[in-house]
Amino acid sequence: MISISASRPYLPALRHLAAATPVVRTFTSSARLTKHTPAIGDINPSKSSVSDFDAKQSAFRQQLAETSKTRNTELANELKNAPSDEVYVPPGLTQGHGLGSLSTATDKEKKGILDDTGKKQGKLSSLIYGTKEGREMDAQIEASFSAILARGKYVHSIVLHDVKPDKVDEYSELVGEFYPRMAQLSENKVNLVGSWRTEIGDSDTFVHIWEYHRYHGYHESRYAITHHPDYVEFNKKLRTLIYSKKISLMQEFSFWPTSPPQERKLRRDRSWGVKGWSETVHKTVPLIQSMKSRILIPMPWSPVR
């Protein structure tokens, strides 16, 4: 701690220095403040933006490949100059390992180090890289979710709003005017499937289901809606009416495509008449950790009732 007496001759100089020195110093590494919290609707899904992202991703993957190649070269030199054959090889130093979805290994490398030349595979290679049949099965399982099961035609968004009890009427008026209007705009590739209020279950929770034309339709619609002139005022008002908001994205399966609610009800009723269905349900019930059921009341603007 430094104490300065008023009788000292250098006090005016110190006062001048203190006045000239700012209290808060600006660092060049400090981030620039944005007008609002970043959201997915801020991303411009235009072709130029997508091309720019693809170029950056390609450059990043190329850099990963060069780094991996350099590490493998260094590892090979270390193994070559090692005095003993028993050398521990860290798993992260092998080609394509430890990178997860960012792996730079090619499809042939992912299936195995050796190509399918028809030659008999050694026991050691089978132990390390697996058999040919096993690699093919792994490839089929990996591709099943994206190429087989996922239909990809529609993406559904389920939005849950936990509304304040004394704000239900204001909420209904606000959302009932804004949601249908956004769904009717031609530039938005989205359909409002329905809006409901929870009567039995989580009371005063409103459920909204939106249907987008693939993922590019979701991004384009989100960008268009968040940049609509009325969105800022709508979102500002909405925040004062709800406790919380939850959004989930769902993708339909090829074996279970979207169908009208009445058709789904008939199919479920008919399933109980199929032999073995009741036994299957009885065996699967113990596997369920939790389950929530709601009785929903459609809102006046809801297309599905």
Domain assignments of the chain as residue spans, ordered by start: 40-76, 152-255+294-305
- Give the Cα separation of 148 and 64 in Å (integer): 30
Judged against a pLDDT cut of 80, whether residue 254 lies above it is answered with: no
- Band of the pLDDT at 297, cuts 50, 70, 90? very high
pLDDT at position 29, please? 47
The sheet with strand 205-213 has its strands ordered as 242-253, 150-163, 205-213, 190-200, 295-298
Look at the block and give the residue holding tokens 């339909």. Answer: 252
User: Can you tell me whether residue 251 is helix, strand or coil?
Assistant: strand
pLDDT tens profile 61-72? 888 888 888 888
Among the listed ranges 43-52, 127-136, 148-157, which one has the minimum average pLDDT value? 127-136
Using an 8 Å Cβ cutoff, are 42 and 226 in contact? yes
Mean pLDDT of the chain: 75
Over range 25-32, report the average pLDDT.
48
pLDDT at position 17, please? 45
Using an 8 Å Cβ cutoff, are 243 and 162 in contact? yes
- Of 56-70, 89-103, 163-177, 220-234, the range with the highest mean pLDDT is 163-177
pLDDT at position 76, please? 79
pLDDT at position 122, please? 55
pLDDT at position 171, please? 97
Over range 282-289, report the average pLDDT.
87
Judged against a pLDDT cut of 70, whether residue 214 lies above it is answered with: yes
User: Can you tell me whether residue 123 is helix, strand or coil?
Assistant: helix
The beta-strand segments (E) located in 43-189 are 150-163
Judged against a pLDDT cut of 50, whether residue 6 lies above it is answered with: no
User: What's the CATH number of domain 152-255+294-305, 3.40.640.10, 3.40.50.280, 3.30.70.100, 1.10.10.60?
Assistant: 3.30.70.100
pLDDT at position 252, please? 73
Query: CA-CA distances (angstroms) from residue 284 to 49, 230, 277?
Result: 46, 48, 11
Among the listed ranges 40-44, 139-143, 145-149, 284-288, which one has the minimum average pLDDT value? 145-149
Stronger pLDDT, 10 or 137, i.e. the higher one: 137
pLDDT at position 244, please? 95
